């Protein structure tokens, strides 16, 4: 199960201009498979109407403590009973203050006081309000009461000022929720990984590269964060947004990738090589653009270092995971790479399935044998691969047959 799929989320929208972002958040949550029930305060309804939230969530919207649509007239009790979380986004300074003092004079505050599920708030307010000692005190009390706080962010505000207090963007809130509901199986682990292609320059405008999009590696980086890990992603040139919670180091060539990996490696528990690293690079890089002469030309290539093999060959290596992209004989070559590089796990895929697209078909090879996974999106496969890694990292007595 993906961490959001099948979750019941009560999303409370209070009266701040960031309420317009809550509509997009509902859309993203529903797309991720959540069952969203919106509680809209009087202030929230001044910015976005209930009709919008009802249309996007597919569920009735709740605003009134005395709403007679709930058979027992107790929306403040029933809404939270089978919920996985109440998320208040945006949460105004006022609602935060009322929550920490246990006020219960409307549906939202009564619901929060009567809840038996986690409460998460995503503050949104002007920077002076956020920095006011009263708000600082109230947010500290929220933490003390076990409430989770997502954000806020800093940047340009609706009032035209710049500073801390912006609500996190809907995508970032979704990512934080995924981590919140994640398995936590990699909590406390540091993961260093590579993704994307490398670009080996021939001259200032030309080079040798490949068609890796980085999608598999970026999905895996995000899945590691969702499972609680700290992630450093050394990425070749790709056109993908940085997954929330991931620290990215951007590189071009295999030599730069190697240097960035070894810089990030101290303290790493896991190293995952997803990058399609060029095996060779031009022996020389021309300083100026090579001019057409009409003659044939010869390019001399020299081998690149094998980053994964070097990391796995360290005296105390991290748990090393390799990928193998083959065009045939997957079992033979992938298992050969695992043994040759002394890796704990190899994820094998055929290039025709893995390169470029959103989906993939992989087989996992480890000391216990071969484990084919059902074809799926790279995002779904990443979650399963991380789960497998987490299982293999358990003490041997706790490992089940299929990880
Ligand atoms: O980026 P996408 O479009 O989503 O595609 C994903 C993928 C197909 C690139 C990915 O799933 C994958 O298979 N990556 C490995 C690509 C590959 O060809 O690896 P390899 O067989 O050349 O190398 C085996 C392993 O050694 C890999 O983990 C690789 O990162 C590592 N390696 C290889 C050469 C080198 N010089 N240094 C390395 O670290």
Q: How far apart are CA 138 and CA 135, in angstroms?
A: 5
Which tokens sit at 29? 């949550």
Report pLDDT digits (tens) over 262-307.
999 999 999 999 999 999 999 999 999 999 888 999 999 999 999 9
Supply the residue whose CA is at minimum distance from atom 5 of ligand 1.
355
218: enclosing H helix or E strand? helix 215-226
Write the DSSP string, 220-236: HHHHHHHTT-EEEEEE-
At 29 the pLDDT is 97
For the purposes of burial, counting CB atoms within 10 Å of the CB of 383, is it exposed (0-12), middle (13-18) or buried (19 or more)? buried
- Nearest residue to 276 (alpha-carbon basis) of 351, 331, 344: 351
Tokens 């609706």 correspond to: 158
At 201 the pLDDT is 97
The overall pTM is greater than 0.75: yes
On whether the CB atoms of residues 184 and 206 are closer than 8 A, the answer is no
At 159 the pLDDT is 80
**Which domains does the chain show, CATH number per domain?**
8-181 (3.40.50.1950), 190-401 (3.40.50.10300)
How many angstroms separate the alpha carbon of residue 271 from the centre of ligand 1? 13
On whether the CB atoms of residues 95 and 88 are closer than 8 A, the answer is yes
**117 is known as an active-site residue:** no
Q: What residues have CB less than 8 Å from 182, skipping those under 6 apart? A: 3, 226, 227, 228
Which of 112, 117, 159, 320 is catalytic? The answer is 159
How many angstroms separate the alpha carbon of residue 365 from the centre of ligand 1? 15
Write the DSSP string, 200-214: EEEETTEEE-----S
At 1 the pLDDT is 47
SS3 139: helix
- Is any atom of ligand 1 closer than 6 Å to the C-beta of 356? yes
Q: Which of 218, 254, 273, 384 maximizes ligand 1 atoms within 8 Å of its Cβ, making it the mutation to test the pocket?
A: 273
Regions of the chain where pLDDT drops below 50: 1, 399-403
How many angstroms separate the alpha carbon of residue 349 from the centre of ligand 1? 10
Tokens 């994820």 correspond to: 347
How many angstroms separate the alpha carbon of residue 258 from the centre of ligand 1? 14
Q: Which of 197, 212, 360 maximizes ligand 1 atoms within 8 Å of its Cβ, making it the mutation to test the pocket?
A: 212
- Is any atom of ligand 1 closer than 6 Å to the C-beta of 61? no
What's the length of the chain? 403
How many angstroms separate the alpha carbon of residue 275 from the centre of ligand 1? 4
Angle 293-296-302 from CA coordinates, rounded to 5°: 110
- Nearest residue to 87 (alpha-carbon basis) of 27, 177, 184: 177
- Is any atom of ligand 1 closer than 6 Å to the C-beta of 218? no
The packing angle between helices 378-392 and 215-226, to 10°, is 50
- How many CB atoms lie under 10 A from the CB of residue 395? 6
């Amino acid at each position: 199960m993906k961490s959001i799929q099948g979750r019941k989320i009560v999303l409370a929208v209070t009266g701040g201009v960031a309420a317009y972002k809550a509509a997009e958040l509902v859309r993203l949550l529903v797309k991720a498979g959540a069952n969203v029930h919106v509680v809209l305060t009087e202030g929230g309804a001044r910015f976005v109407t209930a009709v919008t939230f009802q249309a996007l969530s597919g569920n009735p919207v709740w605003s009134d403590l005395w709403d007679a649509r709930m058979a027992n007239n107790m929306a403040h009790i029933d809404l939270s009973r089978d919920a996985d979380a109440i998320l208040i986004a945006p949460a105004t300074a006022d609602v935060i203050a009322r929550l920490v003092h246990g006020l219960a004079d409307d549906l939202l505050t009564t619901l929060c006081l009567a809840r038996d599920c986690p409460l998460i708030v995503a503050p949104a307010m002007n920077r002076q309000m956020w920095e006011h000692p009263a708000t600082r005190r109230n947010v500290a009390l929220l933490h003390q009461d076990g409430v989770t706080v997502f954000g806020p962010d800093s940047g340009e505000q609706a009032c035209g000022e710049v500073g801390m207090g912006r609500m996190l963007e809907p995508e970032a809130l979704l990512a934080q929720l995924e981590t919140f509901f994640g398995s936590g199986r990699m909590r406390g682990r540091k993961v260093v990984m590579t993704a994307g292609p490398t670009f080996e320059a021939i001259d200032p405008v030309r080079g040798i590269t490949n068609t890796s999009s980085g999608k598999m590696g970026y999905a895996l980086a995000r899945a590691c964060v969702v499972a609680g890990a700290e992630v450093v992603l050394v990425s070749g040139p790709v056109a993908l947004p940085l997954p929330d919670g991931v620290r990215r180091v951007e590189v071009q060539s295999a030599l730069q990738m190697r240097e960035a990996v070894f810089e990030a490696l101290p303290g790493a528990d896991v190293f995952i090589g997803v990058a399609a690293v060029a095996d060779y690079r031009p022996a020389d890089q021309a300083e100026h653009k090579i001019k057409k002469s009409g003659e044939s030309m010869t390019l001399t290539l020299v081998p690149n270092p094998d980053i994964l093999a070097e990391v796995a060959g360290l005296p105390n290596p991290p748990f090393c995971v390799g990928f193998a992209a083959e065009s045939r004989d997957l079992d033979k070559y992938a298992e050969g790479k695992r043994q040759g590089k002394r890796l704990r796990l190899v994820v094998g895929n055929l290039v025709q399935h893995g390169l470029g697209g959103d989906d993939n078909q992989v087989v996992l090879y480890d000391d216990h044998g071969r484990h084919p996974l059902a074809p799926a999106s790279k995002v779904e496969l990443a979650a399963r691969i991380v789960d497998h890694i987490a299982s293999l990292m358990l003490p041997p007595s706790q490992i089940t047959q299929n990880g």
